[in-house]
Amino acid sequence: QPVLTQPPSASGTPGQRVTISCSGSGSNIGTNSVNWYQQLPGTAPKLLIAANARPSGVPDRFSGSKSGTSASLAISGLQSEDEADYYCATWDDSLNGVIFGGGTKLTVL
Amino acid sequence: QVQMQESGPGLVKPSQTLSLTCTVSGGSVNSGAYFWSWVRQHPGKGLEYIGYVYYSGSTYYNPSLKSRLTISIDTSKNQFSLKLSSVTAADTALYYCARGPFTSNRGWFNPWGQGTLVTVSS
């Protein structure tokens, strides 16, 4: 079982706003930066959000936030090309290692 | 821009050693600004962190793989490598190399290689 908990699936219609949650604990999300990765079908993961900031080239429709021991990825103006798997990731001070969430499969209806 | 490319055998026999190399272009593994990592993804599953190497040769290994794992770096070739011994079918996965993490954000990986599928089978 992944240390970071994500819903296995999420869905929305084009134009909608969707949020994906990532729940952790004080030893990981509570004290470390959270990053989000997008994995389009058949491709490698791509850094989407780094510590609530968007890397160059990532549309501003994507945003990240963190509160306590949970983090969220929000996608506004949902588009068909956003259909992908999304993973959160951070460091865990207790495990002393990098941890990933189990991933959320986003379907655009 | 930095690019990563994995290479190595796509088929490994059980009990043998899986060996992969990641070649970095557009940047230097000797920079000291980043660590250099391996991540794997079992078919249809999520991401599993394997470990990292620093330009100095220092490493971090996932405890679940530590007894079988060696990650090394060759700064002269701008490459880093993974060796996983005594493989079983459970090691069949897509293996990615990635730049990262870095000290102020230890869950940051960018960019990633395209990944290479390694199948363990006789």
- Does the structure show a pLDDT above 90 at A2? no
pLDDT of res. B104? 84
Interface residues on B facing A, Cβ-Cβ cutoff 8 A? 37, 39, 46-49, 60, 62-63, 96, 101, 104-115
Verify whether the Cβ–Cβ distance B49 to A99 is below 8 Å: yes
Is the pLDDT confidence value at B61 over 80? yes
Sheet with B47-53, side-by-side order of all strands:
B11-12, B116-120, B93-99, B36-41, B47-53, B59-61
Mean pLDDT of chain A: 96
pLDDT the model gives residue B103 = 80
Chain A residues whose beta carbon lies within 8 Å of the beta carbon of residue B96? 44-45
Specify the pLDDT at position A1: 74
pLDDT at B41 over 80: yes
Contacts of the segment A40-47: beta carbons below 8 A, 24+ positions apart: A40/A81, A40/A83, A40/A84, A41/A83, A41/A84, A43/B114, A44/B96, A44/B112, A44/B113, A44/B114, A44/B115, A45/A87, A45/B39, A45/B47, A45/B96, A45/B109, A45/B112, A46/B110, A46/B111, A46/B112, A47/B108, A47/B109, A47/B110, A47/B111
Name every chain B residue with its beta carbon within 8 A of the beta carbon of A43. Answer: 114
* 3-state SS track over B16-33: CCEEEEEEEECCCCCCCC
Contact A24/B at CB under 8 A: no
Quote the DSSP letter at residue A3.
Answer: S
pLDDT greater than 90 at residue B62: yes
A34 contacts in chain B (CB < 8 Å): 107
Per-residue model confidence (pLDDT) at position B28: 94
Partners of residue A50 in chain B, C-beta under 8 Å: 105, 108, 110
Nearest CA among B80, B71, B105 for reference residue B27:
B80
pLDDT at B53 over 80: yes
Measured between alpha carbons, how far is B39 from B94 in angstroms, rounded to an integer? 9
Residue B32 has pLDDT above 80, yes or no: yes
For the record, the structure tokens of B77 come out as 């070739």
Contact call for A50 and B108, based on CB within 8 A: yes
Q: What is the pLDDT of residue B70?
A: 98
